[in-house]
């Protein structure tokens, strides 16, 4: 029997609310973020400022996503962006374009 795949979950982290996604829980995503930052104090400060999980009901909401390769705005959802990723967890959105 094939093991059931864990659902993709997304979290807003830090002052600017960058979005990170993974098939893991909050402890694993915090640890991933700490490794990614490389500066434990800075990572912990960002987590204290904002660490908010997006409800599953919002994962499929299509929203303006930013500029594509051709410079035009495109629309996507957290789930769609995360499913494109070969390896999760990872950052799927940022406030910087």
> Please, what is the end-to-end C-alpha distance for the chain in angstroms?
43
Of the two residues 73 and 87, the one the predictor is more confident about is 87
Tell me the C-alpha distance between 29 and 90, whole Å.
Answer: 9
Which pLDDT belongs to residue 19?
93
Query: In this structure, what token pair is assigned to residue 40?
Result: 């434990």
Q: What angle do CA 8, 24, 40 make, to 5 degrees?
A: 125
Is the preceding peptide bond at 89 cis, omega within 30 degrees of 0? yes
Q: Which helix (H) or strand (E) holds 54?
A: strand 51-54
Share the mean pLDDT of the chain: 86
pLDDT digits (tens, 9 = 90+) for 45-83: 999 999 999 999 999 999 887 666 666 777 889 999 898
For the chain, give every domain's residue range.
9-93
The pLDDT value given to residue 11: 95
Give 6's pLDDT tier (boundaries 50, 70, 90). confident
């Amino acid at each position: 029997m094939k093991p059931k795949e864990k659902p993709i979950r997304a979290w807003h982290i830090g002052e600017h609310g960058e979005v990170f996604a993974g098939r893991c829980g909050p402890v694993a995503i915090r640890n991933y973020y700490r490794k990614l930052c490389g500066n434990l104090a800075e990572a912990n400060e960002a987590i204290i400022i904002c660490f908010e999980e997006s409800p599953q009901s919002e994962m499929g909401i299509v929203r303006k996503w930013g500029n594509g390769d051709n410079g035009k705005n495109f629309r996507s959802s957290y789930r769609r962006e995360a499913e494109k990723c070969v390896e999760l967890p990872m950052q799927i959105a940022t406030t910087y374009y």
